[in-house]
A and B are shown apart, each in its own frame.
Chain A
């Protein structure tokens, strides 16, 4: 049976296409270079340290994201704060399966590598200089969140009650609302939680330079064009889960 964390990572990836950072508070940045290890990304170095120039862009807008496991989660907001937004707000989360999870993030912005083709060429150069290992991955994009909450049930049944005292009218919209300071008021069963973490990078994606392209420059296939796609691949979720 898959571990609760693997279930969380698999479902996040199969629905959003990004890897869920594990632990959610781990620092992962665009341009990080590393490997998957034990279901986590382990940074080895960075493009900057390898003197491979990288250009990173940041999306202009911000977005909120809420995602729950396909089954096994029930979330109830009660108290004065639920509707009117003044007074005590209480949110009860009932989990009925190991691996059931809640992911809420606010103020998400996408940061991504813009010069993939140049980076791929830089990687090939670094490989020829014995500064790059074929299995290394490059973090190509991350979602930076102003605030994020991740709760994963590790038991087949678990319950968490969060509460907050509201001084201003604040309707309940998210467990990652930076205006609401949630605290745990009741807790049954085993679970992992990151509650209202600030400035996290909870989602990321990776690229890898394709193995056939490693080698002396003169044996690279001549294909023309400057499409970086021919040099790169995207690892699947299994590679992370089985690491």
Chain B
């Protein structure tokens, strides 16, 4: 029987520590490869198939709660409790102190700064858990049938077309679909055949109308048993079909909902990743980093040929609503702070405000997956996808900041650099009164930087990383991010390195006007 491994992707260091213990015990872990899709039905399926559950819960401080933790992990823990599977929770000590009643009594705490101090306790807890989970049998295990789906929908004329389409999409994914309309013959609570259908199905899809109905009751029953369920709630006011934390998809536009449903279905069908096996093949750290790298399929306009510098401009998406919104917030902020005078001080304040605005979003840093694109072609996430993934690579961020700076009225510069050991991207801006450079070289960049005619910063400083992203990042991260001045200092050090080479420089405004 497998063990589901619930963890925060971005905490590679603490995950690696616990993974070291789990690898030693050769525990057959399964985990969800990071993707941009939040699919609760898939987690429910994992928990059911795995039969037991280990979770590492690190601290995720926020302005509201300095001892907070990931709401996604919290949801996974709740699912595991509903699934009644044996579980082992390792919780960071400050999180546990603050939220003790949210965790079961047998929770094991750890000190994130020095987890090794609790190594013996952790080892023993794992052994006890293993003994328990060997004899455990998930309650519905014998009933569940692969490729069975039940489509539970209200009998509403307005939903009929949508239900037909959902059934068709399920069939195309290879499901044998049973359609059920609760309340037709008997109320959902009294309909034992409905309950058995739910137990038997690999996946249940609930299509819910505007009013509370027997379909809602059926969903409640499935939810209580941690039965994999997709929750499609019609809501005429809804404008966004993204699932919420509970997996509920609120929709008003059928086409948008069907697109999201297809995405969910594809995520649901994706297989487990086996991190212990991966760690045994590579290393614990590599396994954790691989697991935490988002898998996503780019559209054509999300690909960049690395040899074509000017083509990077297409990825600087200044008109994106997220970019415009953030730029407007930064403008308002510096005005409120009294830093809205003309000149280079204003530009610097604006850039700092943009950087801090992204920092507050608590995105995670990711390295680009080495597979999935042709050699020399790189995937670049647009702003919405960064927001959906809660993560970004250096080139994603360089383009995002390029767009933010342009939207704020500055002259952005995006640099692609290479050293003997890495490729990297930085962003900055040409200051007021500094003209564009003809055929710019690294020398132009250095001169402008040293004369304060341009400002560059390490864009990955604005997103959470466990360790320095580049070797030139020597100042410590605070809560996994860099203050703006440290991000600027990191960029300066990188640009002054003797082995740094300038591969591309994108002067966004100059290129747009060319």
Contact = CB atoms under 8 A, between A and B. Distances in A.
3 A-B pairs with least C-beta separation: A17-B447, A17-B443, A232-B435
B443 A16 contact: yes
Given A117-B433, A227-B432, A228-B433, 11 more contacts: A12-B443, A17-B443, A17-B444, A207-B435, A229-B430, A229-B434, A231-B435, A232-B435, A233-B436, A235-B438, A236-B438
Nearest to A205: B447
B442 A14 contact: yes
B277 interface: no
B11 to A, nearest CB: 40
Interface in A208-235: 210, 226-235
B437 interface: yes
B431 to A, nearest CB: 8
B441 A17 contact: yes
B439 A238 contact: yes
B446 interface: yes
A116 interface: yes
Contacts of B437: 234, 236
A60 interface: no
Given A227-B432, A228-B433, A233 B438 contact: yes
A234 B430 contact: no
Contacts of A207: 435
Contact of B441 (A13, A230, A239): A13
B447 A16 contact: yes
A149 interface: no
Nearest to B509: A229
Main secondary structure of the interface of A (DSSP, over half): mixed
Contact of A15 (B432, B436, B443): B443
B445 interface: yes
Given A229-B411, A236-B439, A17 B448 contact: yes
A110 interface: yes
B451 interface: yes
A116 B434 CA distance: 9
B167 to A, nearest CB: 59
Contact of A18 (B433, B439, B443): B443
Contacts of B435: 207, 210, 228-234
Contacts of B342: 226
B434 A17 contact: no
Nearest to B444: A17
29 contacts: A13-B441, A13-B443, A14-B443, A15-B442, A16-B443, A16-B447, A17-B441, A17-B444, A17-B446, A17-B447, A110-B451, A112-B451, A116-B433, A205-B447, A207-B435, A228-B435, A229-B432, A229-B433, A229-B436, A230-B435, A231-B435, A232-B433, A232-B435, A233-B438, A234-B437, A234-B438, A234-B444, A236-B440, A237-B443
Contacts of B432: 227-229
A163 interface: no
B330 to A, nearest CB: 19
Nearest to A235: B438
Contacts of A117: 433
Contacts of A229: 411, 430, 432-436
A124 B438 CA distance: 21
Of the candidates B430, B432, B435, B443, the one having the most CB atoms from chain A within 10 angstroms of its own CB is B435
A110 B451 CA distance: 9
Nearest to A12: B443
A29 interface: no
A21 interface: no
A230 B509 CA distance: 11
Contacts of A112: 451
Contacts of B450: 17
A231 B435 CA distance: 8
Nearest to B440: A236
Interface in B414-463: 430, 432-448, 450-451
B446 A16 contact: yes
Contacts of B442: 14-15
A108 to B, nearest CB: 11
B485 to A, nearest CB: 19
A141 interface: yes
Contacts of A12: 443
Contacts of A238: 439
A227 B441 contact: no
A187 B95 CA distance: 72
A207 B435 CA distance: 8
Contacts of B433: 116-117, 227-229, 232
Nearest to B439: A236
A221 to B, nearest CB: 11
Contacts of B445: 17
Contacts of A14: 441-443
Contacts of B441: 13-14, 17, 237
Nearest to A15: B443
A99 B494 CA distance: 27
Contacts of B451: 110, 112, 141
A101 to B, nearest CB: 15
B418 to A, nearest CB: 15
Contacts of A232: 433, 435
Of the candidates B433, B434, B442, the one having the most CB atoms from chain A within 10 angstroms of its own CB is B433
Contacts of A15: 442-443, 446
